[in-house]
């Protein structure tokens, strides 16, 4: 079987368009790879091989007629938080174990229009609440680089699928780092776009003011290509920005001489492993050699970002998840004597421990007498963080930091140490609070595990972020792949 599963989307699109390979052959390669590694990795909750075969055949017919879409023939994993018509959408929860949507999320609908070949719904932390994909009701996903380590979260299934060759690219969602951190842990490129650039319609909400859909890919060119298919105004989403979408593929080309790079001191302090610090400092030297101007930056209120996030996100989750009550859809526990008992028993059985923890925290923060002391104060801190980023972008074109303070940690290592788990997102959370775009690219290895460099930009500054990421990617020339000793091998 040809190793098409290990290629990039833009390479395969060229081969398919040129008639050198069929979409069905690419799919066969990916499905064969899934048969060999999925049992060990567990990237998927719901594989969809039959739907994928029908889509690949349709892509081949379209290519023969000269009308193939821009994503036609590329096998993709879709995070199981995005509604897919006729395919169950569980959000990694027993609460929605049997839920089959009657409509597609806007991003899925747009990709279907471009020839989407969906090979499955990817595993995730329940309702996107987690940093390790250990909170899934359907069991954890393992990191393809080391099967005893986590792939990150909450989009760990999406990242693991791409890293293991079980998909060419994937969709994830990012509320506090859930695309970028798994991309970092799995040696991939992952991007959180500007809030509102990509539609949230059909994305099952965790924290509505923070959630954003984005791509997980093998290189920056694939990221730019997939983002161009996702971005754009959607009247079905009231928070969608009505802004022109640039040509991201064209924008990412060119050198970065003269670009101003800021390095927030608050993200380069204690907590970083030696490997992460050295890898990021090496990238800063590369930026300078490429002609960029590199200086220290400061975001004075960043020390409060984690605390503010863990008030705002649970508060919004408490409100959003109130709809899962056993009345309209999803799980309903039978045998209750009245409605209140049915609510309680259904939610107790349907939600896992982390989701219950955040619902209780969020409900408390929103309760009478505590709203202003907790939620109100957290929103004020958020405003200060937004202003810190605005001030920084008056001086700098991009900001650079580690994506995560550490490489992937061991399965079970942090499940009982919640603070350590939450701190794994300390570098990514501020980006969501500010609503700005950020990308993670592979920047080195520590103990054989990949590390990520985070590049942040101003609102709607995706083009600049992608250009800087592309230049750094070419300079770093990161070629490492999962090994066979601890991982799945290439």
CB 443 within 8 A of CB 451: yes
Burial of 293 (0-12, 13-18, 19+ CB in 10 A): middle
Edge-to-edge, what's the strand order for the sheet holding 449-457? 44-47, 117-122, 75-79, 169-173, 213-217, 189-192, 438-446, 449-457, 398-402, 260-264, 293-297
Indicate which residue of 132, 155, 173, 178 is catalytic: 178
Q: Which of 436, 358, 344 is nearest to 398 (CA)?
A: 436
What element of type H or E holds 293?
Answer: strand 293-297
HEC per residue, 21-61: CCHHHHHHHHHHHHHHHHHHHCCEEEECHHHHHHHHHHHHH
Indicate which residue of 29, 132, 154, 318 is catalytic: 154
Return the half-sphere exposure (C-beta side, CA atoms, 13 A cut-off) of residue 343.
7
The question of whether 154 is a catalytic residue gets the answer yes
Indicate which residue of 22, 43, 79, 404 is catalytic: 79
> Which residue(s) pair with 117 in the sheet?
75
What element of type H or E holds 469?
Answer: helix 462-476
Cα separation, 180 vs 428, in Å, equals 7
CB 366 within 8 A of CB 315: yes
Q: Which of 366, 381, 370 is nearest to 317 (CA)?
A: 366
The question of whether 184 is a catalytic residue gets the answer no
First to last CA, the chain: 14
The question of whether 136 is a catalytic residue gets the answer no
Which residues are annotated as catalytic?
79, 154, 178
């Amino acid at each position: 079987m040809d190793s098409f599963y290990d290629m990039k989307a833009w390479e395969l699109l060229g081969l398919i368009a040129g008639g050198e390979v069929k979409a069905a052959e690419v799919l066969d390669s990916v499905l064969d790879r899934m048969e060999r590694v999925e049992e060990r990795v567990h990237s998927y909750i719901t594989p969809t091989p039959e739907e994928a075969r029908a889509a690949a055949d349709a892509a081949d017919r379209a290519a023969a007629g000269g009308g193939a879409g821009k994503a036609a023939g590329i096998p993709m994993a879709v995070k199981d938080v995005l509604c897919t018509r006729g395919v169950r959408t569980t959000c990694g929860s027993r609460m929605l174990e049997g839920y089959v949507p009657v409509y597609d999320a806007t991003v899925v609908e747009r990709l279907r229009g471009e020839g989407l070949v969906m090979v499955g719904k990817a595993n995730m932390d329940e309702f996107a609440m987690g940093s390790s994909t250990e909170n899934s009701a359907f069991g954890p996903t393992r990191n393809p680089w080391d099967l005893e380590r986590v792939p990150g979260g909450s989009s760990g299934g999406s990242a693991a699928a791409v890293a293991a060759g079980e998909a060419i690219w994937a969709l994830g969602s990012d509320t506090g780092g859930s695309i970028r951190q798994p991309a970092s842990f799995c040696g991939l490129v992952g991007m959180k776009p500007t809030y509102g650039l990509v539609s949230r319609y059909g994305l099952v909400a965790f924290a509505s003011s923070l959630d954003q859909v984005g791509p997980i890919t093998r290189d920056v060119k694939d990221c730019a290509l997939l983002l161009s298919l996702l971005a754009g105004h959607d009247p079905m989403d009231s928070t969608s920005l009505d802004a022109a979408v640039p040509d991201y593929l064209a924008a990412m080309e060119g050198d970065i001489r003269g670009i101003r790079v800021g390095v927030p001191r608050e993200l380069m302090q204690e907590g970083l492993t030696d490997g992460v610090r050295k890898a990021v400092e090496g990238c800063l030297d590369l930026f300078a050699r490429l002609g960029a101007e590199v200086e220290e930056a400061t975001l004075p209120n960043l020390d409060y970002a984690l605390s503010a996030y863990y008030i705002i996100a649970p508060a919004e989750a408490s409100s959003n998840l109130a709809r899962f009550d056993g009345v309209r859809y999803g799980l309903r526990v039978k045998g209750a004597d009245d409605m209140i008992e049915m609510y309680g028993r259904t939610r107790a059985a349907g939600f896992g421990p982390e989701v219950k923890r955040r619902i209780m925290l969020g409900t408390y923060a929103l309760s009478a007498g505590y709203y202003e002391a907790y939620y109100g104060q957290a929103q004020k801190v958020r405003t200060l963080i937004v202003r810190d980023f605005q001030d920084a972008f008056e001086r700098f074109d991009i900001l650079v930091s580690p994506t995560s303070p550490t490489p992937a940690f061991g399965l079970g290592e942090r499940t009982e140490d919640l603070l350590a788990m939450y701190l794994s997102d300390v570098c990514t959370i501020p980006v969501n609070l500010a609503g700005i775009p950020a990308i993670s690219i592979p920047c080195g290895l520590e103990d054989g595990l990949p590390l990520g460099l985070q590049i942040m930009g101003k609102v709607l500054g995706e083009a600049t972020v992608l250009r800087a990421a592309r230049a750094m990617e070419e300079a770093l020339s990161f070629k490492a792949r999962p090994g066979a000793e601890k991982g799945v091998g290439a």
